[in-house]
Amino acid sequence: MTRKYFGTDGIRGRVGEYPITPDFMLKLGWAAGMAFRKMGACKVLVGKDTRISGYMFESALEAGLTSAGADVMLLGPMPTPAIAYLTRTFHAEAGIVISASHNPHDDNGIKFFSGKGTKLPDEIELMIEELLDTPMTVVESSKIGKVSRINDASGRYIEFCKSSVPTGTSFAGLKIVIDCAHGAVYKVAPSVFRELGADVVVLSAAPNGLNINENCGSTHMGQLQAAVLAEHADLGIAFDGDGDRVLMVDHTGAVVDGDELLFIIARDLHERGKLQGGVVGTLMSNLGLELALADLSIPFVRANVGDRYVIAELLERNWVVGGENSGHIVCFHYTTTGDAIIAALQVLMALKTRSQGMAQARQALRKCPQVLINVRFAGGASPLDHPSVKEASERVTKAMAGRGRVLLRKSGTEPLVRVMVEGEDETQVRGYAEELAKLVAEVSV
């Protein structure tokens, strides 16, 4: 069934433009409360990131939920994965996150977690959608929900993160720069790494409601790169606004992306006999990751782009590690969703186990040159279905003999075909990409 409101990662858009409006959030809270109440007594956790509109939407959701008879527990600003964890530990029916992740402050959105700390089942999302199109009612006065605030939420989550590394672990002697993106990790992330003994320099941890992700965090790495060099730090860690993405910087100031972090974690688990199956990446994961894992005889599969699809593939295969080059990394050993702080801790543990610095640890993954060309088309029949495009794509794939790949896909938001070729020889890769892009353009006329 086609969803009217929910996308692949909840509901997101520009603040003040439907459906990211207070009246819609009121109705959404009511619809969610009604849906969750069908499972019995209903307790819902609500957390948010640091954008200014979070106050407005928190109040609207609270009113809607309580009008449906749901009890609400407010967490305040907390990372998205923290809300997934706390939903489980408080045995709540659901958790709600008010966040637009890595987007600027004038966007916002809503994500839901089930009582197990996972994405909502499809049937619950569809039930909420159906209720949104029905008149809003209020339960009788004696059944209206109550609201409370969890004052020790940060402390609980900090201890949970620390529990993902062996008891007694110390990062003493390690100097780290952390960029908190003026976002949801601004309190908890520095505490986690300091309490584990690291010397921590903190950037972008003064949110004012408008500066989340602004020229900082995992989408703007320049500030962190400069600080690592200026502080003579061992490495830098960059989070996004809601704390589910992480990228790093080695001591030379070079950016370490999600593919490289995923490799470092997977190799460490493999060497310790704890990997359980293989690794899930996405269609955009660099071929170098696939080849480096193959050298270690670690299976690798690609899911569609989006952490939702990575998680679905992991669950289907009963594997435990997956992620995206953007920095969404899932470690099912420890938690139920992508968690930037926990992923960063697993990378630090892998470095500690091997007695390696980041620059040395990443050398086993040689990223392949990747050329991406966008080709505009007028609409109508997809150029990707044209026989000559299919034949050329197959011919180029065969010519690279397993040491390269071709990815042709339509943009989901623009009339574009994305032509991507990657392999070990940059000149060859660029030639193939230009050849395919020219052909796609010709059949698009």
Taking only the tens place, the pLDDT of each residue in 300-358 is 999 998 888 999 999 999 999 999 999 999 999 999 999 999 999 999 999 999 999 99
Q: What is the spatial distance between Cα 79 and Cα 86, in angstroms, rounded to a whole number?
A: 11
Query: Tell me, what's the pLDDT at 377?
Result: 84
The reply to whether 11-150 and 257-367 are identical in fold is: yes
Q: What is the spatial distance between Cα 285 and Cα 345, in angstroms, rounded to a whole number?
A: 22
| Inter-residue long-range contacts of 413-419, CB under 8 Å, 24+ positions, other chains counted | 414/376, 415/376, 415/377, 415/378, 415/379, 416/374, 416/375, 416/376, 416/377, 417/374, 417/375, 417/377, 417/382, 417/383, 417/384, 417/444, 418/372, 418/373, 418/374, 418/375, 419/372, 419/373, 419/374, 419/375
**Would you say residue 380 has pLDDT above 80?**
no
Query: Tell me, what's the pLDDT at 413?
Result: 63
Q: Is 101 a catalytic residue?
A: yes
Provide the percentage of residues in the chain whose pLDDT is more than 70.
99
Instruction: Classify residue 196 by its DSSP letter.
Output: T
**Would you say residue 39 has pLDDT above 80?**
no
Q: What is the spatial distance between Cα 332 and Cα 310, in angstroms, rounded to a whole number?
A: 12
Helix (H) or strand (E) holding 160: helix 153-162
Opening angle at CA 373, ends 439 and 216, nearest 5: 170
**Would you say residue 411 has pLDDT above 80?**
no
Q: Report the amino acid identity of residue 10.
A: G
Q: Give the domain ranges of the chain.
A: 11-150, 173-256, 257-367, 370-443
Which neighbouring-strand residues pair with 110?
11, 98
Query: Tell me, what's the pLDDT at 228?
Result: 98
Query: Tell me, what's the pLDDT at 40?
Result: 73
CATH architecture of 370-443: 2-Layer Sandwich (3.30)
Catalytic residue chosen out of the listed positions 101, 164, 285, 444: 101
Q: For the chain, give me the number of helices (H) and strands (E)?
A: 14, 18
pTM of the predicted model over 0.75: yes
> What confidence tens digit (pLDDT) does each residue in 386-398 have?
999 999 999 999 9
Query: Tell me, what's the pLDDT at 106?
Result: 97
Query: Tell me, what's the pLDDT at 379?
Result: 66
| pLDDT band per the 50, 70, 90 thresholds, residue 9 | confident
Give the least confident one: 53-57, 293-297, 333-337, 402-406: 402-406
**173-256 has CATH 3.40.120.10 classification:** yes
**Would you say residue 138 has pLDDT above 70?**
yes
**11-150 has CATH 3.40.50.300 classification:** no
Q: Report the amino acid identity of residue 377.
A: F
Query: Tell me, what's the pLDDT at 412?
Result: 65
Give the least confident one: 158-167, 178-187, 245-254, 376-385: 376-385
| pLDDT band per the 50, 70, 90 thresholds, residue 4 | confident
**Would you say residue 66 has pLDDT above 70?**
yes
**Would you say residue 247 has pLDDT above 90?**
yes
| pLDDT band per the 50, 70, 90 thresholds, residue 2 | low
- The set of residues, in sequence order, having a beta carbon less than 8 Å from that of 313 and lying 6+ positions away, is 280, 301, 303, 319, 322
Bridge-based pairing state of the strands 107-114 and 71-77 = unpaired
CATH architecture of 257-367: 3-Layer(aba) Sandwich (3.40)
Q: What is the spatial distance between Cα 108 and Cα 105, in angstroms, rounded to a whole number?
A: 7
- The set of residues, in sequence order, having a beta carbon less than 8 Å from that of 122 and lying 6+ positions away, is none
Average pLDDT over residues 273-293: 95
Mean pLDDT of the chain: 95
Query: Tell me, what's the pLDDT at 1?
Result: 54
> What confidence tens digit (pLDDT) does each residue in 186-208 have?
999 999 999 999 999 999 999 99
* E strand residue ranges, 310-367: 321-323, 329-331
* E strand residue ranges, 8-67: 11-14, 43-48
Average pLDDT over residues 69-82: 97
| pLDDT band per the 50, 70, 90 thresholds, residue 145 | very high
**What are 188's two structure tokens?**
């908890």
Query: Tell me, what's the pLDDT at 212?
Result: 98
Cβ–Cβ < 8 Å for 388, 338? no
Query: Tell me, what's the pLDDT at 336?
Result: 93
Main-chain phi, psi angles of 408, to 5 degrees: -115, 125
Sheet architecture: strand order including 43-48? 11-14, 107-114, 94-98, 43-48, 71-77, 147-149
